[in-house]
Structure 1
Amino acid sequence: MTTPKHPVVPRDQWLAARRQLWLHEKAFTHQRDELAAARRALPWVQVEQNYRFHGPDGELTLADLFAGRSQLLVYHFMFADGWQEGCPGCSFLADHFDGANLHLAHHDVSLVAVSRAPFDEFQAFRQRMGWRFPWFSSHGSRFNEDFGVSVASDGRGEYNYETYEGKESELPGLSAFYRDSDGVLYHTYSTYARGLDILVNTYNFLDLAPLGRNEGGTMDWVRHHDRYEEAAAKPHCCSD
């Protein structure tokens, strides 16, 4: 990798520039807090459909996914019928879930994944990845369609609050729900596409690194975590 050309200055000039950036960072932190508050202030929609899911112990309701807590985050993991492995991008995000769940579970929040494929179809991949977070199947229900991650294969569907013209029938997202003390469920928030960046702590580290994310396209360097050495070992197309 070629080192990019970059200004090199004395320490005092660096400190002056750093203090200017620090002011920018502080302003952004306050803006981020305001955005989070606006997100929490969104109106809620009561969930009236009787969605059914499948897990290791059989059939479950949406209320069961809360696992006794009042808040639920559902990551819509791209894994459709007949797939042998999950989407690399979704897998990249999912690599961050188990660490978060060590803490979320003790702060009244359940974080789970839900995929369209039948439950048995993603168990081998789950074992291969070594994940422990709860992962359920929505097979046979309209859950994925209703929350905007299964779109029409003819490209006439909607994704991320606008018309979707791509070819993927399954797409990623995250939806948030609240369970009231009387058992009523509410949909409070959903986000898609770049809105999912907030889940990827690896990107937060990269954004602090000298070269940043250093990618030609979003996640173009990402592999399933057991395939990085395999990818590195492959010769370039023009190698002898």
Structure 2
Amino acid sequence: MKQNIYDHAEFFRQYKKLRQAPYNFNNLLEQPALKSLLPNLTNLQMLDIGCGMGEFAYYCIENNAQHVTAIDVSKNMLAIAQHEHAHPNIDYYLQAIEDYHAEPNSFDCITSSLSLHYIKDFSAVVGKIASMLRPGSVFVFSVEHPIATARKTLEDNWLYDDSGNRSHYAIDNYHDEGLREQTWLVDGVVKYHRSITTIINTLIEHDLTIEKMLEPLPDSEASQKLPSLEKEYRRPSFLLIRARK
């Protein structure tokens, strides 16, 4: 997550345009799934990793969380968060999770939306998260699905027939974990691929119990709003997990 692509001027211009569209994959698919995994937030102390523009942190306060500590590496993201989603019970910090420190047993719930695939040392970060959670508390997160990050050429992994229709989705190098560099809005976006086995076993190794996993599918209303969501029935974009300490 220390790569700060979100402060790249052209990337951020295009990303902001994407996120501000009325219908997108985040607000129609990933965010509803993430919210469905949350516990009752009333009076919880929360940490939101990779808080972005602050919409989710603000949602948690609106749903009765006591306080949200929200961290992100991007000045651009935090500038919007502090302008559009400021609240007395949200503290925004310019910080990578690798560098963030809190006392053990500090939080009732830790969340991360689509940020952990930027992390190089997943085990170290999960260990830190487990330490910061209070016993019985939950860690809820989403990542790009390992099916989508597996190939080492990540521009467009759909293959098409002679008529230009999607034929199938190509997967390769699934168990060859590690760095992936892709073109997404701009060249040189760095992410880290890891298998579902690695993700699950890393959580277990740090004494986190898997309670639920989601590979979300759009409902009919979402598909009508954004027809490109239909391809989720053929290849998932997101993997979401709730784990309890």
Fold shared, TM-score > 0.5 on shorter chain: no
TM-score range, shorter chain: under 0.3
With the length of structure 2 as denominator, give the TM-score of the two structures.
Answer: 0.27
Of Structure 1 and Structure 2, which has the larger fraction of its residues in strand?
A: 2
With the length of structure 1 as denominator, give the TM-score of the two structures.
Answer: 0.27
Greater radius of gyration (CA)? 1
